[in-house]
Structure 1
């Protein structure tokens, strides 16, 4: 029964999700100024496992791609920027717990258990956390462009048998209270420090260069106005969206939009179609017009129109990200293909 419920959870979540159109969007890095530094070098990372951080950072930089091309370029002379930093061990902790299980302790033959007993096991799980700091330095001026920290962790578990006895009705599984211990971080096992450092460095990926993210242009399932609510084509387009029929749904929204020019939900859904196609300028215009019309509906609850304003904000952000990325990729033509 438990496994059946776990299987149903993703299905139920999908059924409850607001229908819409998924697409891949180019996102500006968390630190937009970092995108301007494509001709870079990776310098020294100090501290324990600093050599690991340096190697992992360099490897990550080499693998960053966008639109099918490598984002970072190898410097032919002096680089524009230099990434350097340090590794600090944040903590080294352990949890010790005790478990009982009924186990075969004596075999009469292969797969033939002669004697079962209770075996008590002591399990110790160690956890190490590190903080990796990465600084981007302007190579020419030695100016700090940005500094960011990322946390990484590693864990390992060891279990040893500590007792064996006949079963007398003892509770199986975990028993007793676990024991927690903290140790001097700088005595932490170096292998765990290195593993935690690798995890932390990987988290810098979206800080330093553009990346792709799956976005969803959600549609409105409530027509908001009587003409849209009462038109069976509106419900049919919603169903087509739920069924994954993007082309059919958008064709229906287009037909409704020509007839109901002042229906904000229809305009919003037309904006979702444009957004999913990558036409952010059209999407923004339609979302903006839908917001204007929604504000003019008397007594309309804010929560019913919230999707319109969220969509307008989202598309505005996408256009800003694209403008930043295009200005770097195509400095002579900020809007390629326009």
Structure 2
């Protein structure tokens, strides 16, 4: 069967399909942890954290790493058997500063109550600055190698004046900062599976009128039947080989079906053909390759 006939059959078979999505393909993939070596640890224990807020951060990190690829082991058993140890220190400072702010106030009113003269006065105010810094490190216990060592700074500044009060207490600000630091650490150590949408390329500039119409029909088809649209774009290569929108969209199709190596090549070819958005897409597909490789490595290490 000729390519054009295949394309026509694809479009006809999808005409009755339902759905209401934009011109995108939905992709689900696993992205690697930012700190890949630390993410390979099978078990970790959270050790002592120095500073007044250290114990609270230690508990927050334990909670953040629960339900991840790590087995989080506590107590003496954790110290003796965990493959990695997490420790650190937290310093917190609160600085209160007095200052004045100029404000206009009515000094004289007319009989009808309207202000006829204003004067500028100074009102007393307070500025509160909360600085926190958490130094965190992870050591692999088998050889003592430091796999992760990061400083996590936090600063919050708020002001209020006479007859006002701060919108949050010091305790609330510090608690929020500790949660954010723990979640940031999880983000650095734990791989994540995302489901996201990639918009297909719609430009048909430079194509013949007939080919451009078939290309547009396939773009619309993604709302109802993405696999059929991908099959149609594949068939369209006989007429528009190397066309940037076509090559990019074939890359999206490859990414959607999990063929990330093919996606990287197609996105790179799309960039060479003039589809600049292929750079970001190629980087994403490269990260998906790393995420898949890391998942296999973790499975291998766990036997």
Question: Residues of 1 paired with 2:225 and 2:103: CA distance?
Answer: 52
Partners of 2:133 and 2:154 within 8 A in 1? yes
The verdict on how the C-alpha distance between 1:26 and 1:326 changes in structure 2, with shifts beyond 3 A counting, is same
TM, length-normalised to structure 1:
0.62
Q: Of residues 34, 53, 59 in structure 2, which corresponds to 1:55?
A: 59
Aligned twin of 2:201: 220
Corresponding position: 1:88 with 2:69: no
SS at match of 2:248: helix
Corresponding position: 1:270 with 2:250: yes
Question: Residues of 2 paired with 1:323 and 1:33: CA distance?
Answer: 12
Question: Residues of 2 paired with 1:94 and 1:223: CA distance?
Answer: 62
The verdict on how the C-alpha distance between 1:286 and 1:193 changes in structure 2, with shifts beyond 3 A counting, is closer
Question: Residues of 2 paired with 1:46 and 1:147: CA distance?
Answer: 15
Aligned twin of 2:137: 135
Deviations 1:25-46 (A, max 9, x none): 3221111111111211110111
Aligned twin of 1:28: 32
SS at match of 1:212: strand
Question: Residues of 2 paired with 1:259 and 1:332: CA distance?
Answer: 49
Q: Where do 5+ consecutive residues of structure 2 fail to align?
A: 1-21, 106-122
Which piece of structure 1 moves more, 78-87 or 304-313?
A: 304-313
Aligned twin of 1:73: 71
Aligned twin of 2:152: 150
Partners of 1:27 and 1:322 within 8 A in 2? yes
The verdict on how the C-alpha distance between 1:90 and 1:280 changes in structure 2, with shifts beyond 3 A counting, is farther
Aligned twin of 1:325: 295
SS at match of 1:30: coil
The verdict on how the C-alpha distance between 1:78 and 1:259 changes in structure 2, with shifts beyond 3 A counting, is same
1:7-18 matches, within 5 Å, as none
How many residues get paired? 261
Q: CA deviation at 1:60?
A: 1.0
Q: CA deviation at 1:216?
A: 4.3
Q: CA deviation at 1:282?
A: 3.2
The verdict on how the C-alpha distance between 1:56 and 1:265 changes in structure 2, with shifts beyond 3 A counting, is same
SS at match of 2:136: strand
Q: Of residues 14, 31, 41 in structure 2, which corresponds to 1:37?
A: 41
Q: Where do 5+ consecutive residues of structure 1 fail to align?
A: 1-17, 65-70, 102-120, 163-187, 295-303, 334-338
Q: CA deviation at 1:238?
A: 3.1
Aligned twin of 2:263: 283
The verdict on how the C-alpha distance between 1:23 and 1:205 changes in structure 2, with shifts beyond 3 A counting, is same
TM, length-normalised to structure 2:
0.68
The verdict on how the C-alpha distance between 1:51 and 1:201 changes in structure 2, with shifts beyond 3 A counting, is same
Aligned twin of 1:126: 128
SS at match of 2:142: coil
SS at match of 1:37: coil
Higher relative contact order (CA 8 A, sep 6+): 2
SS at match of 1:306: coil
Question: Residues of 1 paired with 2:171 and 2:197: CA distance?
Answer: 42
Aligned twin of 2:183: 202
Question: Residues of 2 paired with 1:264 and 1:228: CA distance?
Answer: 17
- The two structures, once aligned, show a CA RMSD in angstroms of 4.0
